[in-house]
Structure 1
């Protein structure tokens, strides 16, 4: 059977030709480490977005708020881990044909697929139960909505053109919203627009990088990438970057009255750092090397410095100094 025929049957061809070899049965000792790596510890940094709304509102100065946000961070991390395990279990066969994703624990055989499904269900149930017991009803509803949309994404929506981008973007937006919802903080419309289009910028840049790598022979497991063109994905991340910058500037200028007693207009000055951060990230997006956003953010020193400068400026604005 040809490689194409094999792919149609749901078994992607091995990069070297022929069928993808199934991994050997895992050892008991490898399971805990495999499950932990399937939970994507490096991507937990994304859940720091739960601090975004409280930080923007200057509500991080009490122990009670910090404790509640720590709980929300833990619950969101648990929910995200459940989604990662479900995704890896469903994509195990396809991941084995990918030069990088084949090393994921489920694809590599360190974690059996049935165990990944069971762990995913257990973590999802724990996240929902924890939210119901420890948070206000709206926080629990938002976390449940996140799980529902992400599960629908893993099962179906990841194969729907454009909707896949919207669902992943919504996941980031929900992270940013839930901190404010947990502390009953009103969410600014500019905050939501900036966060939403900033997330779309990073999501589209990630897809663009994957499409570039696929065109270069790197392989890809997202079948929908074949439906996108690199030109279209470039258009999306450029459009999203522009809207995010515009929304942030309007947000900063709208609050100029709050900076009346400050030494300098820090909120307005933070626009410079924000724009520089977007431009710096766009360098990696344009090269097609923004496939792992957390790696770009954590490993690029210039971007890290710009981010710290932005945080310092915005912190001074919130403090009114």
Structure 2
């Protein structure tokens, strides 16, 4: 009996299916790993680039919108460069960590050399593009941010107190660059409020980590075991006090009711600002002040307080 195989029609040769390839011929998994390493969830922090223009009431022009979208993109690229280089540098240590070992570089999804190359490219391109498309001062600030954050990755994160200041300064730089890109003078009270407000949130986060790690092995940060909870509590309380005082001085410095306004919105905005700080301090005191965006989104009272402050501040800016 003839074999059934002889009765089957001849088959076309099979060509390996090109799975997971992008238009650039690189594995899709590599691009996904690079994106994960760039921390998209952290990009929301870069919305702070609108802070200075918003404070000056310079948000409602086409030029401002284009420039702010540009500096947001460039700051995101600069921050992503730092994350890529940091993960490449810490790949070996991360592989021994129960959580960080799943990071794309540590897990081998993104080769260390690729992470270094892409991170280095973004670190150079972001300030260079800012020099061409924005203002020289914006480019200088972006270059300073990249340099400071890389120094933090290499050594400054191991220096007590300096590590807190560097992280808080990163937030301050985000708040400054929008004003520098648009040539807006930065108020000293704006800088003090923003700087100490950032220090308040950073130190509150560190305090929460220290409280949650108390009595446990394997702190997630190198310096966490060297800080005492009492010291971190002192820092966030001091920072909160200075931020509130600076904001109140700035609001009162503006004087009475602005021409055309129904109420002194700028002065009234002190109320939700102080309530917001006090409400956030509740979570800091409990040791549950993790990521600021998580705290705000999970607490309705804090979210509403923030919206009321934004509304009052907006009315003050437009002069209603």
TM-score, length-scaled by structure 2: 0.87
Q: What is the aligned partner in structure 1 of residue 39 from structure 2?
A: 40
Deviations 1:167-193 (A, max 9, x none): 111111111111111111111110000
SS of 2:223's partner is helix
Q: Distance in 2 between matches of 1:316 and 1:73?
A: 25
Map of 1:229 onto structure 2: 228
| 2:256/2:264 contact within 8 Å kept | no
1:155 paired residue number:
154
Alpha carbons of 1:218 and 1:226: their partners in 2 closer, same or farther (altered >3 Å)? closer
Query: Cα offset for 1:80?
Result: 0.5
Name the larger-Rg structure.
Answer: 2
Q: Secondary structure at the match of 1:261?
A: coil
- Residue in structure 2 matched with residue 204 of structure 1 by the alignment: 203
Other-structure match for 2:48: 49
Instruction: Tell me if the contact between 2:219 and 2:225 (Cα under 8 Å) persists in the aligned partners.
Output: no
- Output the CA distance in 2 between the equivalents of 1:40 and 1:267: 35
For the pair 1:167 / 2:166, whether they are aligned, the reply is: yes
Q: 1:59 to 1:157 in 2, by over 3 A?
A: same
In structure 1, runs of 5+ residues without a counterpart are 1-26
Partner of 2:89: 90
CA offset at residue 101 of structure 1? Answer: 3.1
1:238 corresponds to which residue? 237
Partner residue of 1:9? none
Alignment check: 8 A CA contact 1:256 1:267 kept: no
C-alpha displacement of 1:216: 4.7
Q: Deviation string for 1:217-239 (max 9, x for gaps)?
A: 27323211121111101110111
Q: TM-score, normalised to structure 1's length?
A: 0.87
Q: Is the 8 A contact 1:44 1:77 kept in 2?
A: yes
* Contact 1:266/1:313, CA 8 A, preserved across alignment: yes
Within 5 Å, which residues of 2 pair with 1:13-32?
28-32=27-31
- Alignment RMSD, CA only? 1.7
CA distance in 2, matches of 1:263, 1:218: 58
Report the number of matched residues. 295
Instruction: Supply the distance in 1 between the matched residues of 2:247 and 2:147 (Cα, whole angstroms).
Output: 30
Instruction: Tell whether the 8 Å contact from 1:47 to 1:175 is kept in structure 2 after alignment.
Output: yes
List per-residue Cα deviations over 1:7-45 (Å, max 9, x = no partner): xxxxxxxxxxxxxxxxxxxx9442211111111111111
The structural deviation recorded for 1:102 is 3.3
